[in-house]
Amino acid sequence: MTIRLIVIIFIINENNIFIFDKKSQITLDEKTSIGNALKKIRELKGFHLQEVADKTSINYTSLSRIETGKRLPTKPQVQSLAEFYSYSENELIRQLISDKIIYEVQNEDLGLEGFHLAEQKLKYGLNFFNDYKNQDKFQLQNRRYIGNKAKLTDWIMEIIESESKGNGIFIDIFSGTSIVAKSAMKKYKTVILNDILSSNNITYQAFYSTLKWNSNKIVELANDYNTLNSKSIRENYFSKNFGGKFYEKEISKQIGYIRQDIEKKKKNNELNSREYAILLTSLIYTIDRLANTVGHFDAYIKKPITKRPLNFKLIQTSDFKGAKIYQEDANKLARNIKGDIAYIDPPYNSRQYSRFYHIYENLIQWKKPKLYGVALKPEPENMSKYCTVQAKNTFKDLVENLDVKYLAVSYNNTYKSKSKSSKNKITIEEIIEILNNVGPTKKFEQSYTYFNSGKTNFNDHKEFLFLTKKYDK
């Protein structure tokens, strides 16, 4: 028989009782405040206050005020301390919540009555603060993106519906923000979305995946991210590289902290893949308007950055059940899918989207690569042939190998642009010739004011839509 010795220490301090089991951990009774609990845990673990401050994202003054009861810690601070002390996060959060309740009701004349009423409301499932449905949320179109078809979607879909037959499978093979694909979901039973960029693919997983997710959990995390104090957050990969350039310094620390926290929770199986995607997509949408840029990340504005708060807001997910999501080279994917119609809107000029949106790619992949140049870009990846001299032959290969009844091709007249980088790699004459070789083609055109992120002066901008009925094989 083996006899195991368990040492238990009882510490009695005024009205608080702490039990310290060296095999496990301290346990707390119902009379313990969160500040007192954190102080005793620190002391029993043998840490000085400055040592804790040095090794966590919480500064010395904040820690001191928390332990003396002069302020309540935030949930992220409690989580950070629980991890550092190797102590139960759930137990400390339970203590924090109880203290928050007391703080709110103790000085109210009807505080106790209000508390009991809240208990009754909770029993009936009434929830104000974790209600996803009633929150202000980002819509799909609330994001800046070069070539975004938000203003043209109705026009595009009207032509497609009038000039083609079938409502089975719609293929959006260069989905981008997926604004056209979303519109197609109103008519088609199945919509195939594809984009080579990780930052676009994650948004499809967030908006259109059918995996069930816990809205209360996600809202609570969003609330936590909105309580972050940047002054208590340490420098991190994101802030060291992009702070003071693409984003205001304090904001960049928050972005890096949130991204790392999301990753940690995914690795700890606290988030499923849909929840993970929703939080990451919400982060992209949240920081989009805070970026010190003209709409992309090829460069940042060389002026002092206006400090604005980071208001972490969630996205409005879709109820569509027929989405099929891919992240592949379009020409390779074309050989393995079939449908009624394929919508084609590739990049036509020399601007590589993987380079324009390298910060979002970096943020989503979270590989923390070495960065180069003034724009702080990683080594090139996912470079499109449509932005090179190979564009014509690549486009020809695509339309020939897509197994569909109809092709709908978007094109614009920036091939006339004086800007070298804005000039299309395929002329309109080449587009028409290639499409006519696979089937009779109609041309439609629409004038509109395009998004210009640079200094390119281009008047009389037009968007073309080519509708091709493919020959039977």
For the chain, which domains are there? Answer: 8-123 (1.10.260.40), 140-473 (3.40.50.150)
The torsion defined by the Cα of 243, 249, 252 and 253, in degrees rounded to 10, comes to: 120
Mean pLDDT of 129-146: 84
Strands 169-172 and 341-344: parallel
Say how far apart CA 263 and CA 173 lie, in whole Å. Answer: 29
Q: Give the pLDDT score at 183.
A: 97
- The closest of 354, 360, 356 to 381, measured between CA atoms, is 354
Query: Residue 465 is inside which H or E element, if any?
Result: strand 462-469
The confidence band for 5, taking pLDDT boundaries of 50, 70 and 90, is very low
Say how far apart CA 55 and CA 212 lie, in whole Å. Answer: 37
DSSP assignment of 234-303, as one string? PP-HHHHHHBTTTB-HHHHHHHHHHHHHHHHHHHTTSS-HHHHHHHHHHHHHHHHTTSSSSSSSS---SS
Q: Give the pLDDT score at 369.
A: 94
Strands 462-469 and 341-344: unpaired
The confidence band for 363, taking pLDDT boundaries of 50, 70 and 90, is very high
- The answer, yes or no, to whether residue 155 has pLDDT greater than 80, is yes
The confidence band for 125, taking pLDDT boundaries of 50, 70 and 90, is low
What does each C-alpha distance from 233 to 59, 62, 209 come to in angstroms?
Answer: 8, 12, 33
DSSP assignment of 366-404, as one string? ------BTTTTB-S--S--GGGSTTHHHHHHHHHHH-B-
At 66, phi and psi to the nearest 5?
A: -65, -50
pTM reported for the whole predicted model: 0.74
- The answer, yes or no, to whether residue 22 has pLDDT greater than 50, is no
- The answer, yes or no, to whether residue 2 has pLDDT greater than 60, is no
- The closest of 212, 310, 307 to 259, measured between CA atoms, is 310
E strands present in 135-189 = 169-172
pLDDT (tens digit, 9 = 90+) per residue, 325-341?
A: 999 999 999 999 999 99
